[in-house]
Structure formats: structure tokens, C-alpha cells
Structure 1
Amino acid sequence: KLKEKGYKDFDHQKLFEIFYENDEFREKIYKEIEKDIEVDFQELTNKKASLIKNLDNLLVETYQTSPVLIDDTRLITGEEGCLCTFDIEFIKNKTKEGLFDPRKISESVKDNIVNRLDEFSKLLQT
């Protein structure tokens, strides 16, 4: 079909460019080829999509872990592992403040913080 249209002396790169840039021409050539060939391209396209979907369903993801000491910098940047932080703040004049002297925390508040962290730890273990 391309030879009939005068595109017989083009290399593959040039033909690709022509098909890429001219959608109307590409569709016209495809339709002419479909008329001349007894194979149903739509059926082949659907079959190809179905086979790719079946192959995709067969893919298995595997993960490998290794016991390695991970430094804080790699954890914080997300390069390795999982990091969980707890920021303890206090409210002064309806404003949250993160900088405070932990020695000034009352024993009841310390106990409450420890109990909450224990609860969280138990949740992670289940």
C-alpha cells in the first residue's frame, strides 16, 4: 500500500515519522490494509490485550529483607526502613510549644505519656 502511494524508497525511520505525524494518513492506510487482508485487526488487538492482561495476572512481586543496622539519616530520608516519631508538645496560652524542659513535666503526665506509648506498642504487636 505504501509503494502504491509513492512511499517505496523511504527508510523505516522516515516512514515512522510520516505515520506519527499524520494521523489521517495512518488511519487511511490501516483501513485499506484491513480491507485487503482477511485477518480482523480488531480481533487481534483484543486478543493481544487479553493475553497481556493474563500475563499481568501471573506476575508475582517478591521482596527481600536483610537484617542490617539502619542509621537515622537513612530512616528520616525514607531511603531505608520505616520510621515512627512522636512529637511531644505542650499548650501555653492556647499555642502549641515544642520546646520545653522535660524535667518540668509532672509525674502524672509522664505516666500518662508512658501508658499511651505502651498502648501504641501493643497495637503494633498485634
Structure 2
Amino acid sequence: MNKDTTYTISELAREFDITPRTIRFYEDQGLLTPARAGRNRIYSRADRTRLKLALRGKRLGLSLAEIKEILEMYGAADNAPQLAHFLKVLADRRRALAQQLEDIEVVLGEIDLLERQCTELLDAHRAGQGKS
């Protein structure tokens, strides 16, 4: 693959299993800036990489603002600041997910308790009906 390789919106959509509308949305949000040939968008290898990073950020649950901030650092001669910032974003995301997991475990515990209580009440009700 040479550095002059270009892609159409359909090719990228197919490769990443997303819709062209998703790619246009990322463009509207300033995450991608393809060249134009008339009405057609022409995506470069750098655009493809930015799309890949944006989709990865989305999978990680990052906001569009966080994704954009990281992408704005992409391609800098010194990528150490980008990597340091990305590590901070990942640590923040890990903390948020850990809190969500803890909250979910608490709710699941409450559901378990309520299920046991309802089962006991239903069993007692059924047992009472059988004695009549």
C-alpha cells in the first residue's frame, strides 16, 4: 500500500462495517477532512487511520470531544504528548467503568434480594391456597 492510496466513502464503510452516513457524521464533527473531487469525497491513508482511531475511541466509550482532542494531536512530529494524554483519557475511562461496574453489582444484588423475597411470598401464597 503506497502513501498515495485513496479510498471512497463506500470502501471505508465496507472495510469498517459502518454506514457512509456514519463517516459523513464524523466529517461533520470535524474528525475527518477528506479531499473532494467534485461531489465525491476522497479519503487518504491518514483519513483512514483517523477513522479507525475514532471508531476505536467510540468502542472505548469516549465522547466525541475526547476523540477529537486525541485526533487533533495525531500526526504531530512528537507523539509523546498525544500518548501521555491518551493514557490519562484511558485511566479516566477505566475509573468510570469500574464505578459503573460497582453500581451494576449493587443493583444486581438488590434484584437478587427482591427475587428471593418475591419467590418466598409467592410460595407462601400458593401453600396457603392449597390448605383451603
TM-score in same-fold range (> 0.5): no
* TM-score (ref. length: structure 1): 0.29
* TM-score (ref. length: structure 2): 0.28
Q: Which has the higher contact order (CA 8 A, sep 6+)?
A: 2
More helix by share: 2
Tell which structure's C-alpha radius of gyration is larger.
1
